[in-house]
Amino acid sequence: MVSIVILASGFSNRMGRDKLIIEFKGIKIIEHTILNAVKSKADEVLVVYRDEIIKKIAETYGAKAVINENAHNGQSQAVICGIKNLNIRDGVLFLPGDMPFFDVESINRLIDEYEKTKKIVCPVCLFKRRAPVIFPQGYINDLLSLTGDIGGRAILEKNNDVSEVAFKNLKLFWDIDELNDLKYSSGETVIIRGAGDIASGVALRLFRCGFNIIMLETNNPSVIRRRVAFASAVFNKEADVEGVKGILAGYSDIESIWRIGAIPVIIDENLDILNHIEVDILIDAILAKKNLGMMKSMAPLTIGLGPGFEAGVDVHAVIETNRGHNLGRVYYKGFAEKNTGTPGDVLGFKEERVLRAPCNGKVILVKDIGDFVKKGETLLMVNELEVKSKIDGIVRGIIKDGYEVLEGMKIGDVDPRGKKEYCFTVSEKALAIAGGVLEAILNFRMNKRGGESGGKGYSKNT
């Protein structure tokens, strides 16, 4: 048998007001938490409160409510108050009142595990132990001995005999500490494979529209437009693109980075993250010109950028990446235009504006992004071979100093338009592609509400 103690007597210091009575999706945050608890398999639900409003809410839903008269003495007093007022003496699940997303099914998974093992039961997501935790009767005295602002985690950390229950839905564990948390808790999770300049343009647009972004990169990306690519975080720990920060991260850092309004950039070439987290939208933005393992079944919505994907087969939608009339167009059947192998036309220049490695070797920069250059001027060296600009313009992109390159590899880009701001802002091409991605997402969302499974829009059966 399991009792649930809902911890609802905190002071919400970071919020500046009682966060538990803030309205969220039509009812107060604490109501979501109490409703999930009373609908679960728990034999008893007790709410430890400080505010009389919470007492009334608890009683409305049939939960027992007990005031924590020592709330000012820290979290330990809520735990002790709850234990002393329980009727049932078996397992106790301590549920923070600000976890409205930990639903009935999830609570029941923990209870079922406890009934099987009679051990401490703890949920795990992205290799991190999380609340809520069930403690067996044998730990009651330890819990009653807690002092100050210390909760059950102190006991959990001292014990190895713990039954861990794996979860992949990170949103279940989202707690509300600041108003901003409500915004991020409502956003869909988007994984973008690749963090180059096009992928970063997509990430930036979706981030500004309220999506929770995770970007995946290799451990040595050959990024050219370094000032507008979150891939730069792999080398520099952080990257700033138009005021939005990308931070090199591990799986367990994702939430904390979201909370500060930034984008986690994770080294993960093979989509291993999908083994550990549920995702709403998966975007392949590597621009490899071929499918490197993307499958439609990997997420509710999958999107491929450029050639290499068949819309409706490999992915749900494909976005055109070739400059010209169809740039940014969304295909729900068929393929994007084939790779021409020729750079796009900018003021009549195509291949002339691209720098390529003359041999295998290490790059030594002479010029950097944002520098104005003349035709024939040396921009960098590979080993001892000079690489010169073929046109007048400005260095819009150039590979990082010290990078080991292969002969023929693209290593730079000179923009004949000569506008310095273009070097440090997302390109019109990236924004057009990002617009196509956003269209595909909204189309999918609209059709999902209408009960349809496929996108409505342009089909290209070639």
Distance, CA of 249 to CA of 216 (rounded, Å): 10
What is the pLDDT at residue 461? Answer: 46
- The alpha helices in 336-387, defined as continuous H runs, are none
At a CB cut-off of 8 Å and minimum separation 6, what does 358 contact? 382, 385, 387, 407
Q: What is the pLDDT of residue 457?
A: 57
Helices (H), 223-280: 233-236, 254-259
Going from the C-alpha of 195 to that of each of 29, 189, 198, the distances in angstroms are 36, 16, 8
Residue 364 · residue 381 · CB < 8 Å:
yes
Structural domains in the chain, CATH included, are 2-173 (3.90.550.10), 187-342+429-449 (3.40.50), 351-416 (2.40.50.100)
* Entry pTM: 0.91
> Three-state DSSP class for 403?
coil
Tokens, residue 449: 């509400």
The answer to whether 427 and 433 are in contact (CB under 8 A) is no
Taking a C-beta distance cutoff of 8 angstroms, is the pair 291, 308 a contact?
Answer: yes
DSSP annotation of 346: B
Please, what are the averages of pLDDT over each run of 10 residues along the chain (462 residues)? 95 80 93 98 97 96 96 94 91 96 98 97 96 96 92 88 96 84 80 98 97 98 98 98 98 94 97 96 96 95 97 98 95 94 85 96 98 98 97 98 98 96 97 98 87 56 43
Residues 6+ away with beta carbon under 8 Å from 206: 190, 213, 434, 437, 438, 441
What local confidence, expressed as pLDDT, does residue 176 receive? 83
Q: What is the DSSP string of 292-333?
A: SS--GGGSSEEEEESTT--BTTTBSEEE--SSSTTTT-EESS
Per-residue pLDDT reduced to its tens digit, 262-286: 999 999 999 999 999 999 999 999 9
From CA 441, how far away is CA 179, in angstroms rounded? 26
What does the pLDDT read at residue 456?
56
Over the stretch 397-432, which tens digit does the pLDDT of each residue have?
A: 999 999 999 999 999 999 999 999 999 999 999 999
Task: Reduce the DSSP state of residue 461 to 3 states and report it.
Answer: coil
Give the C-alpha separation, 259 to 255, whole Å. Answer: 6
**In this predicted structure, what is the pLDDT of residue 450?**
63
